Amino acid sequence: MTSLLKYSASYFRTTMELGVLDFTLTFLALRPPGPRQVPILGNILQIPVDSAWKVYQGWGRQFGSDIVYLSGLGMNIIVLNSLEATSELFDKRSQIYNDRPHSILLHDLVGFDWTMLFTHYGQRFKDMRKALQQEFNSGRVMNYQDSQIDAVHELLQELLCQPKRFNKAFRGMASKIVMKSAYGIDIQSENDEYVRIAEKGLEILTTSVGQGIPLIDILPILRHLPAWFPGMGTKRQAREWRQCADLMRSMPFDNVKARIASGETLQCAASSLLENSKGTDYEEDVIRSALGSMYAGAADTVTYMLSWFVLAMVLYPQVQQKAQREIDEIIGRGRLPIFADRQRLPYINAIYNECLRWHPVIELSFPHRLMEDDVYKGYFLPQGSLVFGNAHAILHDEDVYPNPKQFMPERFLRVDGSWNPDARDPSVAFGFGRRICPGRFIARETLWIAIASILSSFTISAARDENGKELIPDEAHLPGGIVSPAPFKCNIKPRSTDHEALILATQRKE
Ligand code: HEM
């Protein structure tokens, strides 16, 4: 009965707003195609958990539609499988497609409502976005190049000493860059207290979203049960998590404030934003929350992206050799790459683009929430739907990127090896509309200099078994919203003693 009333209300509101033509559509309630529903549960049991992006891409092909629809228990899911659909809805109709769904677990119980990722679309969200845009736009990120170079040189040293722990080294580099650029904090060791808290907060976030939609969000009535009630473990755990979630944003920010108060001059986003604010509690909260969102945005994404890069180098040794020939020719063997080299290294730039395209670490975007009823290509899209952009489907569209499973940097170059401005940029790997990743420019700088420096210094190759036979890893991945390759073994060795000396020289300089 309630759903019938809800349906009628949305039906009348829509018909009044959309006019007579759409009145008919709404009446017919022509939804986009999707798998067949079962009574009561609808498609609930068909919502894919593993490799969802591939399943949605497959349904799109099966139904001949770039938009796929699932629904059940009052929840509607819309997946957009083409750039045409994501541009039309997320960009051109951005006023209504850029909210986030409300989660009882994350917003109300754990208290993650402050993070930008979950903030509802509105003034506070726009102010947070403006703050990050101001400090991390494409020009401004140049200010952080020195600290990025330092962090990448430390990464090279780590890879030299402990090549098997490459993922840990990538994570350490990402942490250092975020903490330094956001708060001017120098991370000295992996046991650093700020990193420990940020990692704990991130772990809570990924644990709570990583297992699909929490039961309490599917059946909100459960929130009224007491925490001691059997099966209410989530509620008990949420209480413990809450304190850590808040420390994640307040601890490094309070450190900045204390240092400014003691007269220290800092070069970081927090001090710059505080300096340019009027000092109201609201502004401080916006700055604290926007910067507090960065660690969670950066740590896994940057680490996994570099991990996929290492896997690509193992699987495609000819790409690595070509990249090293370019580096040797343009930079020589006497120094490490710097940002000023970028324009002259088209093949390295193409590798960076191909890494984004081959395995975009967020294959299926985080859900956007549709704020009003809408109509697209004659389909009625109900208010409150969760709308996902399928980056994987767009970046593996065979018409745009032939042979999409292949790691092929050449697709971004002309036949003569120069940059091809007509090749489609893989930037949807950073998301859609007004939710597009606010850290994309600093991410691009970080990834580029890391890729160029690793290729310039090391040879990455397949590990071998006791008989000397190469162990070629497959392209498996771990489950999760941010997708990491499944653990694999490889060798990472300096290209020569001269290259090793170059890496060690960066250490002595400090
Ligand atoms: C490989 C690097 C990265 C990739 C591929 C990536 C990708 C993404 C994607 C796909 C989204 C969701 C967009 C959507 O919902 O449509 C996102 C959101 C976000 N990213 Fe990144 N990101 C990366 C690095 C970073 C870094 C370095 C930072 C911060 C310094 C960052 C901060 C954020 C934040 C705060 C959000 C939430 C934005 C919102 O909900 O409005 N990301 N990112």
Residues 358, 407, single domain; the answer is: yes
Tokens in use for 18?
């959309």
The pLDDT value given to residue 113 = 93
Task: Please write the tens of the pLDDT for every residue from 129-183.
Answer: 999 999 999 999 999 999 999 999 999 999 999 999 999 999 999 999 999 999 9
pLDDT tops 80 at residue 231: no
Torsion 419-421-426-428 (CA) sign: positive
Verify whether ligand 1 is closer than 6 Å to residue 435 (CB atom): yes
Distance 293 CA to ligand 1 centre (A): 9
* CATH for 308: 1.10.630.10
In this structure, the dihedral spanned by the alpha carbons of residues 245, 190, 163 and 464, taken in order and rounded to 10 degrees, is -50
Residues 196, 269, single domain; the answer is: yes
Distance 430 CA to ligand 1 centre (A): 6
Residues 233, 154, single domain; the answer is: yes
Q: Is residue 212 part of a domain?
A: yes
Residues 411, 381, single domain; the answer is: no
d(CA 143, CA 255): 21
Verify whether ligand 1 is closer than 6 Å to residue 430 (CB atom): yes
**In total, how many domains does the chain have?**
2
Verify whether ligand 1 is closer than 6 Å to residue 437 (CB atom): yes
Residues 349, 458, single domain; the answer is: yes
The residue to mutate among 121, 301, 302, 363, having the most atoms of ligand 1 within 8 angstroms of its beta carbon, is: 301
Confidence of residue 389 (pLDDT cuts 50, 70, 90): very high
pLDDT tops 90 at residue 215: no
Residues 376, 476, single domain; the answer is: no
DSSP letter string, 127-155: HHHHHHHHHHSTTGGGGGHHHHHHHHHHH
The pLDDT value given to residue 131 = 98
* Nearest CA residue ID for atom 19, ligand 1: 437
Determine the average pLDDT of the residues in 355-366.
Answer: 97
Distance 473 CA to ligand 1 centre (A): 28
Please identify, among 389, 421, 450, the residue that sits at the C-terminal boundary of a domain: 389
Q: Is residue 223 part of a domain?
A: yes
* Of 15-29, 49-63, 360-374, the least confident: 15-29
Q: Is residue 121 part of a domain?
A: no
Task: Please write the tens of the pLDDT for every residue from 407-446.
Answer: 999 999 999 999 999 999 999 999 999 999 999 999 999 9
Pairing label, strands 75-80, 386-389: parallel
Determine the average pLDDT of the residues in 473-498.
Answer: 96
Whole-number mean pLDDT of the chain?
91
Confidence of residue 207 (pLDDT cuts 50, 70, 90): confident
Verify whether ligand 1 is closer than 6 Å to residue 432 (CB atom): yes
* Nearest CA residue ID for atom 17, ligand 1: 437
Confidence of residue 489 (pLDDT cuts 50, 70, 90): very high
Q: Is residue 116 part of a domain?
A: no
Distance 301 CA to ligand 1 centre (A): 8
Tell me: is residue 437 an annotated ligand-binding position. Answer: yes
The pLDDT value given to residue 213 = 67
Please identify, among 389, 422, 455, the residue that sits at the C-terminal boundary of a domain: 389
Verify whether ligand 1 is closer than 6 Å to residue 294 (CB atom): yes
Q: Is residue 107 part of a domain?
A: no
* Of 6-15, 160-169, 323-332, the least confident: 6-15
d(CA 47, CA 436): 24
Q: Is residue 120 part of a domain?
A: no
Residues 14, 46, single domain; the answer is: yes
pLDDT tops 80 at residue 25: no
Q: Is residue 113 part of a domain?
A: no
Residues 401, 434, single domain; the answer is: yes
Q: Which residue has better confidence, 3 or 499? A: 499
Q: Is residue 112 part of a domain?
A: no
Residues 323, 455, single domain; the answer is: yes
DSSP letter string, 86-133: HIIIIIITHHHH-B----IIIIIIS-GGGSTTTPPSSHHHHHHHHHHH
Task: Please write the tens of the pLDDT for every residue from 66-120.
Answer: 999 999 988 999 999 999 999 999 999 999 999 999 988 889 888 899 999 999 9
Residues 214, 184, single domain; the answer is: yes
Determine the average pLDDT of the residues in 467-485.
Answer: 94
Task: Please write the tens of the pLDDT for every residue from 264-298.
Answer: 999 999 999 999 999 899 999 999 999 999 999 99
The 3-state DSSP class for residue 365 equals: coil
Distance 434 CA to ligand 1 centre (A): 11
pLDDT tops 60 at residue 52: yes
* Nearest CA residue ID for atom 34, ligand 1: 297
* Nearest CA residue ID for atom 6, ligand 1: 430
Residues 384, 470, single domain; the answer is: no
* Nearest CA residue ID for atom 12, ligand 1: 431
Distance 478 CA to ligand 1 centre (A): 19
Identify residue 336 by its one-letter amino acid code: L
Whose CA is closest to 183, among 246, 255, 127? 255
The pLDDT value given to residue 398 = 97
pLDDT tops 70 at residue 7: no
Verify whether ligand 1 is closer than 6 Å to residue 301 (CB atom): yes
The pLDDT value given to residue 455 = 98
Cα 227 to Cα 72, 206, 233, 245, 488, distances in angstroms: 27, 22, 7, 19, 41
* Nearest CA residue ID for atom 21, ligand 1: 437
Confidence of residue 212 (pLDDT cuts 50, 70, 90): low
Residues 214, 92, single domain; the answer is: no
pLDDT tops 60 at residue 17: no
The pLDDT value given to residue 26 = 52
Confidence of residue 217 (pLDDT cuts 50, 70, 90): confident
Structural domain for 21, as ranges = 2-102+367-389
Identify residue 76 by its one-letter amino acid code: N
Distance 460 CA to ligand 1 centre (A): 28
